[in-house]
Amino acid sequence: MDFYRELETSLAKSNSTQRHSWAATIIAQDISIRELTPLLKGNAQTCSRFLWLLSDVGIANPEKLMSELPYLFELFSTEFPQYLPSFASFWYYTGVPNENEGAAIDLLFELFLSTDTTVTIKSRALVVLAGLAEKYPALKPELCSCIDAQADKHSADFQKRADRIRRTLTD
């Protein structure tokens, strides 16, 4: 597959313009993301940029990425657990597939509370958890408690978003 070879040789040094173009190609040509996952066995730069490319696909066409997420979640859970935090972004852009909701809730709470998680991933995890809490109101008290536990540990922007979400959960 020529497209795969192009990604394999160019992804590691790619820029956002190239990745946006590749995402458009994946969408326009309905290229299976599943067929591209061997890129995760590449070097760290290739892997990170492949994850960014997946996010670009999700931003441009949420349905395209969403249809692949159950497979990707299983693959990452078993073979690439170090990349599971990327699902906070994927789910942020697409929503959580029904079959992954239970595992997603566990992972998102873990990411949100971890001291090793970046503030961007924490923020996306929080937004996705808030959506799930709307669907499953029993999660609201736990999420509010977790938001309170994170108070004043992050930037003012993060705190503002967390406070806004907390208010919506208790209204």
CA distance 14 to 149: 39
* C-alpha dihedral sign at 90, 92, 96, 97: negative
Euclidean distance between CA atoms 62 and 74, whole angstroms:
19
> In whole angstroms, what is the distance from residue 125 CA to residue 60 CA?
20
Token duo for residue 99 = 């079959």
Convert the pLDDT of each residue in 71-122 to its tens digit.
Answer: 999 999 999 999 999 999 999 999 999 999 999 999 999 999 999 999 999 9
In terms of Cα–Cα distance, which of 98, 129, 94, 136 is closest to 113? 129
Q: What is d(CA 144, CA 170) in angstroms, rounded to the nearest whole number?
A: 8
Tens-digit pLDDT profile for residues 121-171: 999 999 999 999 999 999 999 999 999 988 778 788 888 999 999 999 987
What is this structure's pTM?
0.92
Residue indicated by tokens 């990425």? 65
- Between 48 and 158, the more confident residue is 48
Tokens standing for 141? 């008290």
* Amino acid of residue 95: G
Burial group, residue 57, by CB count within 10 angstroms (0-12, 13-18, 19+) = buried
As a whole number of angstroms, the distance between CA 167 and CA 89 comes to 23
Domain ranges of the chain: 1-83, 84-171
